[in-house]
Amino acid sequence: MDLQLTDRVHIVTGGARGLGRASAEALVAEGARVVLSGRSQESLGRAAAELDERAGRHAAVAVTVDNADRDAPARLLAAGRDAWGRVDGALISVGGPPKGPVTATTDEQWTSAFESVFLGAVRLAREVGTALPAGGALGLVLSSSVRAPLPEMAISNGLRPGLAMVAKTLADELGPRGVRVNGLLPGRIATDRVAELDASTGDPEAARRAAEASIPLGRYGEPEEFGAVAAFLMSPAASFLTGVMLPVDGGLLRAL
């Protein structure tokens, strides 16, 4: 299938590693160009150089900025326009908040996470979404916690369903302009973040075996598998999909 991504320009936040990096690689492989953002200038620069080398063309630029920064949307839009004269979409990876139960999570932790995880993502989606042309697409990388709570992940369970509803509402608002908004709900994907969560149990191998036993496909997903889904959802090939919250979880979620 031709995803019709050639020369389209997409912002990918958290693009230096994990699901963001895998998504950027899939987009570039299909002919797109990407604006990578994150907090580490070194890792972003390395990721952009590797994407350029793999593509055999100028395919990536890097912008060191945090999702929570108020000027992040303007800087990312400017980077895409300066490099290639356009921005067609954005994949907004919402960072993982601290682990812990509701009873042990402080007001300060909730407030900090709201600023970075919730408000930063809303601001990016709002500002970038309203700047996109017809045919543009927004994707929010959320979590399976949108539909089912995860143990010891109170903040994620509290904030991500709200972000999903914001995305759904924004799909209604931007739809008449031809701009699509969707969410992706990764389950257990073999990223550094998931490895850290497994390690926090004290027995990462046992934690992984237990998690895999709850997944119908019987294994963790690979970042490349997630990236392929993200590239499709962001592409014109998915032109009649909007307001969708798409699980990428090997069947983990039991709800329809």
pLDDT in tens, 19-63: 999 999 999 999 999 999 999 899 999 999 999 999 999 999 999
The distance from CA 96 to its chain's CA centroid, rounded to whole angstroms, is 11
Q: Report yes or no on 163 lying in a domain.
A: yes
Q: Report yes or no on 3 lying in a domain.
A: no
Pairing state of beta strands 89-93 and 33-38? unpaired
Q: Report yes or no on 1 lying in a domain.
A: no
Q: What is the pTM of this model?
A: 0.95
pLDDT in tens, 209-224: 999 999 999 999 999 9
Q: What is the CA radius of gyration of the chain?
A: 17
Q: Report yes or no on 129 lying in a domain.
A: yes
Please give the angle made by the CA atoms of 19, 87 and 89, to the nearest 5 degrees: 40
CATH number at residue 145: 3.40.50.720
Residues 6+ positions from 200 with CB-CB distance below 8 Å? 99
* Count of structural domains within the chain: 1
SS3 assignment, position 54:
helix
Domain around 220: 9-246
Nearest to 34 by CA among 93, 104, 102: 93
Question: Which residues of the chain have a pLDDT value below 50?
Answer: none
